[in-house]
Amino acid sequence: MEPGTAAIISSVAGTTSSGIAGILILIILIIIPFIVKFWNWSKEASAQGMLYSQLSEQVQKQRDEIDKVYIQRNILQEQVFELRSKVEHFEDYENTITDLNRRLDLKDTALADRDTRINSLLHELLQMKDRVHSLELRLKADEAKFCNGCLHKRMNVQYIPPSNNEDSEVGIHAI
């Protein structure tokens, strides 16, 4: 026992009325630490209860926030999947467009070659036309020069070449 408690017990033991008061004081003195401990414990329990409730509220808020984040993540994942499918679809379009551009380039090359050939043939045709025209003019001049006595010119007769059904006679008919 503590020295103060022993002194109180020895003084209380000597007198009856003061002994009862002393016993009561002794009991109060013994109970006071328990009361203080109980009071501190209740304060501590109350503080722990408050702390627990605050922590529970924070945990609940964090759970709600985590749920919101998961929902947003799921929505974003769905959007990512949709965008990936769109990107793949656009890549297919891009491949198709690239192929069409390649084919158009080949077609352009073929058209350029064809146009060059057409221009060459047209130029050749114009040259032939000019040559035919000059040959016709030369033929007329030669006919006028060498064919003064030709029968079909004098009589205004038209020359008709023989057909396969007719005999091999030259067909000269008067107009």
- How confident is the model at residue 145, as a pLDDT? 82
Write down the residue that tokens 């030259």 correspond to.
Answer: 170
The structure's pTM equals 0.38
One DSSP character per residue, 3-47 reads HHHHHHHHHHHH-SHHHHHHHHHHHHHHHHHHHHHHHHHHHHHHH
Structure tokens at 68: 């919101």
pLDDT tops 60 at residue 15: no
pLDDT tops 90 at residue 37: no
Determine what percent of the chain is predicted with pLDDT higher than 70. Answer: 75
Per-chain mean pLDDT for the chain: 80
The Cα–Cα gap between 60 and 68 comes to 12
Q: Report the range of poorest mean pLDDT among 50-54, 59-63, 89-93.
A: 50-54
